């Protein structure tokens, strides 16, 4: 009996000691726990039809993160870059990998509108904030998880269509655009603006993406005051201009997304044949503002060439994400980040930036042209500007 | 009328370019039994080397064509000596190997020349237009047509009129008998493969006048080359020439007249031709 009591006493003391030691150990200061990084995904076209643009987007995003020292609201930031191969299927696969495996909540890119349309339902389902890189599809707006920058494709070029009629004085137009969602929207935006202003679009042609030889389409051109082209990137644009000139056609050319297509490298190789072609640009690098001058110098130091809209757009989108994260105190969940970003009003190298409640950016649109100054081919400073364009189809 | 003439001219020049791309592939496939899917990559290598000579170093365009051909030929030779000679009569392995080579060569080109697409380039003497009956014809396209004709004559002569051609044809029909006659068939195969790759390299520089050069050109070109080889019939120079011209004309005509259907017209043409002649227009009867 005595033994039993003694055993119970010893057991009780042991149990109390164990609990006590565990409690003390739990309260003692351990090694510091590292803050989980905020992961930002980027799907960029590093290979494929517009592979030359991928490194430009990457440089813009990296510059924004370097300026923030890869940190926001006290939390480290990790950038995960995936290659879309300029292909819809690959882009969707990479997006799912970023979301499901890497657990990112924010994805910058990809470039192509088709990819965005394919990704949009999954992004909405998983509540992932996605940003476009060079404009975006109006159809993606309905999902309300997309930041469309600088605006939707059609809204971007609509004012330029009006400009062609009202300012340049053209009455008839032929459009030729690459046969995929993004460029069809660009060309149709300009065509609608042109027709709403009183002009007539007499012919629209849609060569496939990657068309090697545009001469059959050029031979099919009827008569018009002006030809507006909208190809899928600097290479096809250059090929089209080259083959158009080679065919001896004399109708004036105008274009859209000129700042994206007329990269310094492409202009240098095109030489004189691109001179004087007017175009719509979302970002002319010669904008004379302090913030832009600093940005141009930083990109030049990083890449060796002046920026196009590719670097600028990627930089601005990364800046927007960082500003949103700063506002949420580092919370990257969609429900916190989305409203924080929509409330932003910031100054960017491109100009003032804000968003509609649907997530479509409100920015300026510029008219530019290719020029040769002191033997150097470059995109001109803005010839004209349309302030704060917004998609006319969104509710007021 | 001008549109019709220009369409015909554009179709012929595009067809000649397709012939330059596909002829080497057809010979290697038909005469040696090698399915070389990396043929487009050899075309691309030639184009890049030609760009380096003609644009980067601003040297003679003719030299660029020759050295582009040499680059394509040497790359092809490495491919044949290093790998393909071990895979004769093993089409599945050939397909897998050469398809992998496309990625390797494309990435090598991207490392060397970067991801930026190189624009069209040509010689100074080929710039501008010539007017025939008031219709402007670009000199670059005239040059492509002339090059295609010269290569076609050269290949036909080699295939049908030389000892080398006879040895190749004999080797394909009866390998043991040919070797029993004392012919070094391995050396003959090596020579033919080099020649095919050399023509691909030349095509890369000549074609760069229209297409420029870029690192996924090999896959873009591959599909067109396969269509031309299948339509024309394997192993026949005349077949590759006819296939190139037929496909070039059909593609160009539909793009000009009915552009909304141009995405699939060459494939439709291929299906119809194969239904009528399963071995291609000038291929050996199946």
Give the closest residue to A221 by CA, choosing from A251, A254, A190: A251
pLDDT digits (tens, 9 = 90+) for A109-156: 999 888 999 999 999 999 999 999 998 889 999 999 999 999 999 999
Q: Which residues of A touch B263 (CB under 8 A)?
A: 179, 208
Q: Do B253 and A216 touch (CB under 8 A)?
A: yes
Q: Do B214 and A235 touch (CB under 8 A)?
A: yes
Give per-residue pLDDT as tens, A351-381. Answer: 999 999 999 999 999 999 999 998 888 899 9
In sequence order, the 6+-apart residues with CB closer than 8 A to the CB of A323 are A341, A344, A346
CA-CA distance, A384 to A308, in Å (whole number)?
18
Per-residue pLDDT band at A393 (split at 50, 70, 90): confident
A319 plus A307 within the same structural domain: yes
Q: Does A201 touch chain B (CB under 8 A)?
A: no
CATH value of B2-276 in 1.20.5, 1.20.1180, 1.10.3470, 1.10.10: 1.10.3470
Instruction: Provide the percentage of residues in chain B whose pLDDT is more than 90.
Output: 50
Contact B138 A247 (CB under 8 A): yes
Higher pLDDT, A14 or B158: B158
In a domain, A29, yes or no: no
Q: Helix, strand, or coil here: B184?
A: coil
Q: How far apart are CA B109 and CA A73, in angstroms?
A: 42
State whether residue B52 is helix, strand or coil.
helix
Is the model's pLDDT at A31 over the cut of 60?
no
Residues A247, A385 share a domain: yes
Residue A296 has pLDDT above 60, yes or no: yes
Chain A environment of B212 (Cβ under 8 Å): 235, 238-239
Whether the CB of B219 is below 8 Å from some CB of chain A: the reply is no
CB contact under 8 Å between B259 and A265, yes or no, is: no
Judge if A277 and A130 occupy the same domain: no
**A79 within 8 A of A85, measured Cβ to Cβ:** no
Residue A222 near residue A249, CB atoms below 8 Å: no
Spell out the residues 6+ positions from residue B214 whose beta carbon is closer than 8 angstroms to its own. A51, A235, B44, B117, B118
Tell me if A190 is assigned to some domain: yes
Q: Is B208 an 8 Å CB contact of chain A? A: no
Whether the predicted pLDDT of A23 surpasses 70: no
pLDDT band at residue A11 using 50, 70 and 90 as cut-offs: low
Q: A47 to chain B: nearest residue by CA? A: B115
SS3 content of chain A, % helix, strand, coil (to 5): 45, 20, 35
Cβ proximity of A359 and A322 under 8 Å: no
Cα distance between residue B236 and residue A222, in whole Å: 40
Q: Any CB–CB contact under 8 A between B210 and chain A?
A: yes
CB-based contacts of B9: which residues, under 8 Å, 6+ apart?
A: B137, B141
Backbone phi and psi for residue A79, each to the nearest 5 degrees, phi listed first: -100, 125
Report the distance separating Cα A345 and Cα A320, nearest Å: 10
Cα A266 from chain centroid (whole Å): 20
Residue A16, pLDDT score: 59
CB contact under 8 A, A238 and B117: yes
- Which of A242, A270, A305 best probes binding to B when mutated, by most B CB atoms within 10 angstroms? A242
Residue-wise pLDDT tens digits, B234-248:
878 889 999 999 999
Chain B residues closer than 8 Å to A179 by CB: 263
- Please report whether residue A171 resides in a domain: yes
φ and ψ of B72, to 5 deg: -60, -45
Please count the helices (runs of H) and the strands (runs of E) in chain B: 11, 2
From the list B114, B136, B254, the residue facing A248 with the nearest CB is B136
Q: Do B251 and A47 touch (CB under 8 A)?
A: no
The sign of the torsion formed by the CA atoms of B185, B188, B190, B192 equals negative
Q: Is B89 on the interface with A (CB under 8 A)?
A: no
Q: Which regions of A148-251 does DSSP assign to beta strands (E)?
A: 172-177, 200-205, 226-230
A310 vs A264: CA distance, rounded Å: 12
- CA A270 to chain B, closest CA, distance in angstroms equals 8
* Residue A20 in this model has a pLDDT that exceeds 80: no
Residue A29 reports pLDDT greater than 50: no
How much is the pLDDT for A177?
A: 95
pLDDT exceeds cutoff 70 at A102: yes
Listed by start position, the domains of chain B span 2-276
Place of tokens 């879309």: A84
Tell me: do A274 and A214 sit in the same domain.
yes
Statement: residue B179 has pLDDT above 90: no
Is residue A2 assigned to a domain?
A: no
pLDDT beyond 50 at B124? yes
Structural tokens at position B25? 């592939």
Residue A3 — very low, low, confident or very high, per pLDDT cuts 50/70/90? low
Is B216 within 8 Å of A205 when comparing Cβ atoms? Answer: no
Kindly list the residues from chain B whose CB atom is less than 8 angstroms away from the CB atom of residue A84: none
Tell me phi and psi for residue A63, to 5 degrees: -60, -45
Tell me chain A's radius of gyration from C-alpha atoms: 26
The per-residue pLDDT for A12 is: 59
Distance from CA of A244 to the nearest CA of B (A): 11
Euclidean distance between CA atoms A279 and A256, whole angstroms? 5
User: Has residue A229 been placed in a domain?
Assistant: yes
- Give residue-wise pLDDT tens across range B192-234: 999 999 999 999 999 998 888 988 888 888 888 899 999 998 8
Tell me whether A222 touches chain B (CB under 8 Å). no
| A213 and A345 both lie in a single domain | no
Range of the domain at A257: 154-281+366-389
Strands A226-230 and A172-177: parallel
Least confident of A193-197, A262-266, B59-63: A262-266
- Whether B270 has a pLDDT exceeding 80, the answer reads yes
Segment B275-286 mean pLDDT: 80
A345, A373: one domain: no
Specify if A22 maps to a domain: no
A90 and A124 co-located in one domain? yes
Q: Does B214 touch chain A (CB under 8 A)?
A: yes
- State whether residue A246 sits within 8 Å of chain B by CB: yes
Do the Cβ atoms of B10 and A216 come within 8 Å? yes
User: Do A191 and A99 have their domain in common?
Assistant: no
| Structure letter (DSSP) for residue B85 | G
In a domain, A130, yes or no: yes
Chain B CB contacts of A203 below 8 Å: none
Evaluate if residue A27 carries a pLDDT over 70. Answer: no
A24 pLDDT more than 60? no
Number of H helices, E strands in chain A: 14, 16
pLDDT band at A17 (very low <50, low <70, confident <90, very high): low
User: Of chain B residues 147-206, which have a CB less than 8 A from chain A?
Assistant: none
Please tell me whether residues A258 and A378 are part of one structural domain: yes
- Answer left, alpha or beta for residue B21, where phi above 0 means left and psi between -120 and 50 means alpha: alpha
**CB atoms B212 and A55 under 8 Å:** no
Cβ distance A49 to B120 less than 8 Å, yes or no, reads no
Q: How far is A221 from chain B (nearest CA, A)?
A: 9
CA–CA distance, A174 with A225 (Å, rounded to integer): 8
- Residue A219 to residue B210, Cβ atoms within 8 A: no
Q: How far does B33 lie from chain A, in Å, by closest CA?
A: 29
Whether residue A173 is found in the same domain as residue A263: yes
Res B261: pLDDT: 80
B115–A51 CB contact, under 8 Å? yes
Please say whether the beta carbons of A337 and A330 come within 8 A. no
Helices (H), B114-236: 139-161, 163-173, 175-180, 185-211, 217-232
> Can you give the pLDDT at residue A235?
79
Interface test with B, best of A54, A87, A215 (most B CBs within 10 A): A215
Q: Does pLDDT of A26 surpass 50?
A: no
CATH of the domain at A158: 3.40.50.2300
Q: Mean per-residue pLDDT for B39-65?
A: 95
Number of domains chain A is built from:
2
A238 touches chain B (CB under 8 A): yes
């Amino acid at each position: 009996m005595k033994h039993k009591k003694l055993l119970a006493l010893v057991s009780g003391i042991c149990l109390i000691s164990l609990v006590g030691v565990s409690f003390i150990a739990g309260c003692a200061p351990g090694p510091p726990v590292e803050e989980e990084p905020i992961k930002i995904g980027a799907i960029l076209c590093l290979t494929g039809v517009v592979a030359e643009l991928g490194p430009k987007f990457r440089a813009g995003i990296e510059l924004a993160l370097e300026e923030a020292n890869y940190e926001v609201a006290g939390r480290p930031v990790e950038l995960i870059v995936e290659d879309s191969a300029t292909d819809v299927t690959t882009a969707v696969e990479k997006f799912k990998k970023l979301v499901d495996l890497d657990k990112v909540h924010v994805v910058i890119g990809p470039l192509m509108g088709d990819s965005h349309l394919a990704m949009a339902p999954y992004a909405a389902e998983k509540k992932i904030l996605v940003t476009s890189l060079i404009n975006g599809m109006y159809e993606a707006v309905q999902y309300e998880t997309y930041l469309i920058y600088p605006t939707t494709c059609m809204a971007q070029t609509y004012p330029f269509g009006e400009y062609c009629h009202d300012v340049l004085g053209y009455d008839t137009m032929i459009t030729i655009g690459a046969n995929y969602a993004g460029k069809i929207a660009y060309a149709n935006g300009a065509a609608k603006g042109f027709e709403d202003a009183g002009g007539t679009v007499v012919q629209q042609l849609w060569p496939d993406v990657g068309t090697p030889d545009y001469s059959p389409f050029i031979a099919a051109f009827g008569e018009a005051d002006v030809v507006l082209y909208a190809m899928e990137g600097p290479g096809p644009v250059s090929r089209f201009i080259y083959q158009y000139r080679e065919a001896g056609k004399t109708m004036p050319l105008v274009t859209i997304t000129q700042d994206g297509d007329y990269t310094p490298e492409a202009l240098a190789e095109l030489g004189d044949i691109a001179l004087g072609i007017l175009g719509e640009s979302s970002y002319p690098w010669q904008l004379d503002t302090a913030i832009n001058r600093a940005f141009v110098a930083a990109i030049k130091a990083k890449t060796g060439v002046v920026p196009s809209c590719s670097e600028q757009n990627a930089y601005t989108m990364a800046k927007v994400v960082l500003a949103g994260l700063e506002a949420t105190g580092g919370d990257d969940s969609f429900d916190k980040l989305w409203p924080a970003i929509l409330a932003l009003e910031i100054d960017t190298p491109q100009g003032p930036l804000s968003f509609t409640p649907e997530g479509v950016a409100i920015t300026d649109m510029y008219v530019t042209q290719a020029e040769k100054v002191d033997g150097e081919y470059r995109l001109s400073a803005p010839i004209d500007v349309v302030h704060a364009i917004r998609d006319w189809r969104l509710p007021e | 009328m001008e549109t019709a003439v220009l369409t015909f001219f554009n179709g012929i020049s595009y067809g000649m370019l397709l012939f330059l791309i596909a002829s080497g592939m057809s010979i290697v496939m038909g005469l040696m039994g090698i399915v070389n899917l990396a043929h487009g990559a050899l075309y691309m290598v030639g184009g890049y080397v030609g760009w380096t000579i003609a644009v980067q170093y601003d040297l003679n365009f003719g030299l660029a064509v020759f050295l582009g051909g040499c680059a394509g030929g040497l790359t092809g030779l490495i491919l044949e000596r290093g790998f393909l000679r071990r895979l004769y009569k093993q089409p599945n392995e050939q397909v897998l190997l050469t398809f992998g080579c496309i990625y390797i060569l494309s990435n090598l080109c991207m490392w060397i020349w970067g991801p930026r697409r190189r624009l069209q380039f040509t010689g100074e003497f080929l710039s501008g237009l010539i007017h025939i009956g008031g219709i402007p014809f670009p000199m670059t396209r005239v040059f492509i047509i002339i090059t295609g004709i010269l290569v076609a004559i050269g290949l036909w002569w080699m295939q049908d009129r030389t000892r080398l051609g006879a040895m190749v044809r004999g080797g394909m029909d009866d390998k043991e008998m040919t070797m029993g006659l004392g012919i070094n068939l391995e050396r003959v195969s090596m020579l033919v493969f080099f020649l095919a790759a050399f023509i691909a390299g030349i095509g890369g520089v000549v074609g760069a006048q229209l297409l420029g050069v870029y690192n996924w050109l090999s896959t873009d070109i591959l599909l067109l080359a396969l269509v031309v080889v299948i339509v024309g019939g394997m192993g026949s120079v005349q077949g590759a020439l006819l296939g190139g011209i037929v496909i070039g004309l059909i593609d160009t005509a539909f793009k000009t007249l009915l552009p909304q259907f141009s995405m699939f017209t060459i494939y439709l043409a291929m299906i119809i031709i194969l239904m009528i002649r399963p071995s291609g227009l000038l291929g050996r009867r199946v």
